[in-house]
Amino acid sequence: MRLAQVAVIWAALATAVCVPIAAAAASPLLAWRGPVYIVAGFAGIIALGLMLVQPLLIAGYLPGLSAYRGRRAHHWVGGALAVAVVVHVGALWITSPPDMIDALFFSSPTPFSPWGVIAMWAIFAVALLAAVRRRLGLRPRTWRIGHMLLAIVIVVGSVVHAILVEGTMETVSKAALCVLVLAAAIKVMAGLRVLKKRGSLRVESIARR
């Protein structure tokens, strides 16, 4: 791949993630929010951005990264995603404890809350499974199917959550990021074929790495 192509791909990814963040940074709502609440909002936006990077990393769509380094980066970004969610929920809890407790117990009046909470548990589940799967002796195929099902829950839950929330994110850039997150997840999952055929070449080759 030529250098120009590499640069274009990375620039496009940076734009897709950074434009929504910049647009949110210009939100008039920020003027009436405390610092902790602002941090909570941006942690959520960053988490959504990381969700776009994750499938691209593991599928090797990002040029300049070897398969090994892409995998390592996928692990680190996954950890960062879990941390971002902890910051998002923790800072919202500090901002308004009763609202956060309602959300976590699925008794919130806001329709977007359960989607976010379910996605949160799915993210924690993937992080935990990724950390202990070798100790548990999980077969690569079992792990991959489990991870993929949880990834579907994470992506769908997060996108619906983000779309329904009326917050600092600007509407068009939010919708665009959500479409990209969905598209990347669908494209990568369709390419893996892990659920279609046992022993398909690509799955086996990734599992053996």
Binding site for other proteins (CB under 8 A): 29, 31-32, 34, 37, 92, 95-96, 98-99, 102, 107-110, 112-113, 164-167
Specify the residue, 31 or 201, whose C-beta has the smaller distance to other proteins: 31
Specify the residue, 33 or 141, whose C-beta has the smaller distance to other proteins: 33
Specify the residue, 15 or 107, whose C-beta has the smaller distance to other proteins: 107
Cβ neighbours of 142 (radius 10 Å):
13
Per the CB < 8 A criterion, the answer to whether 208 and 71 are in contact is no
CA angle 5, 6, 8 (to 5 degrees): 65
CA angle 120, 24, 103 (to 5 degrees): 30
Distance in Å, CB of 77 to other proteins, minimum: 26
Specify the residue, 107 or 142, whose C-beta has the smaller distance to other proteins: 107
Distance in Å, CB of 28 to other proteins, minimum: 9
Distance in Å, CB of 99 to other proteins, minimum: 5
Distance in Å, CB of 172 to other proteins, minimum: 16
Question: Would you call 130 helix, strand, or coil by DSSP?
Answer: helix
Per the CB < 8 A criterion, the answer to whether 24 and 170 are in contact is yes
Question: Would you call 200 helix, strand, or coil by DSSP?
Answer: coil
